Amino acid sequence: MWIDTHCHLDAPEFDADRVAVVRRARAAGVTRCVLPAVRAADFDRVRELAQEFDAAYALGIHPLVVDGADEADLDRLRDALRAGAQDPRLVAVGEIGLDHFVPGLDRERQQRFYLAQLKLARDAGLPVILHVRRSADALLHGLRRIGASGGIAHAFNGSEVQARQFIDRGLRLGFGGAMTFERARQIRALASGLPETALVLETDAPDMPPQWLYRTAAERAGGAVSRNEPAELPRIGAVLAALRGCSVDDAARFTGANALAALPRLAAVPWRTAPAAAAQAPTSDAGHG
């Protein structure tokens, strides 16, 4: 069983063929996906999609949309977390965090939304799914100040020292498409060298296409599409296995177990799709619908 711990199935990139995307994921053995919301206006949609496609979801306000969000959105998050307190498919608060890479963002505002959402997660007893970009130390500072019930530092790209600090605070680190590029030396070194209990897999679909789906800006300008999807997870997992010198089955087993440990409610979701049944499902009808 493969678990995609981070998949934006609600993104408009999937509007034309969402059903086929989910079927391909199932056929590939990816039977568990977590759909993190990025803005309050999407909370209902993400919850509905999780129900419709037998997935799990997380609720949060992404640092890249904080400049367009207002205080009322934090109230919406608080209300949605209360309303979902008994919903087993709601497994985390996310995607929240800090982005110190994209220029022109209001850092002080990002920080305020990050800390407020950490508090909401702590009060709800939910783990967090963190966006980390040139912001690992500031994120860690917030975690030390507010506390958190574990979670995932998604698309992790910090140093080994920072990685170990997240692990020491009970978080797992998410690895995905970036790890498939040979030039991503730092990320590949972390994926191969960190303890196996620290790693979870994710696609971040439709973003972060793996190396075999990557198209250059020039190719995209010429009409080429570079879309990631959850069916790519096993191949990304095979790259992790190769980097660590373990079997692909082993990588599926330990990353799946770590995802369940990071997001404990995942184990209680009343799945309609059993992993074994999904693996045996005929693939001849994949692509219809």
Binding site for Zn ion (CB under 5 A): 95, 204
- At position 210, the amino acid (one-letter code) is P
Question: With respect to Zn ion, which residue has the nearer C-beta, 204 or 232?
Answer: 204
Question: With respect to Zn ion, which residue has the nearer C-beta, 10 or 204?
Answer: 204
> If you search the block for the tokens 């977590």, which residue do you land on?
34
CB of 208 to Zn ion, least distance (A): 8
Question: With respect to Zn ion, which residue has the nearer C-beta, 27 or 90?
Answer: 90
CB of 106 to Zn ion, least distance (A): 20
> If you search the block for the tokens 């196996």, which residue do you land on?
196
Q: DSSP string covering 102-160, please?
A: STT--HHHHHHHHHHHHHHHHHHT--EEEEEES-HHHHHHHHHHH----EEEET--S-H
CB of 159 to Zn ion, least distance (A): 21
d(CA 246, CA 31): 22
Question: With respect to Zn ion, which residue has the nearer C-beta, 73 or 95?
Answer: 95
Question: With respect to Zn ion, which residue has the nearer C-beta, 204 or 229?
Answer: 204
CB of 62 to Zn ion, least distance (A): 7
Whether the CB-CB separation of 254 and 197 falls below 8 Å is answered with yes
Q: Read off the DSSP letter of residue 58.
A: E
Q: Which helix (H) or strand (E) holds 243?
A: helix 233-244
Return the number of other C-beta atoms located less than 10 Å from residue 63's C-beta: 30
CB of 286 to Zn ion, least distance (A): 25
Bridge-partner residues for 285, per DSSP?
A: none
For residue 189, give both structure tokens: 């070194």
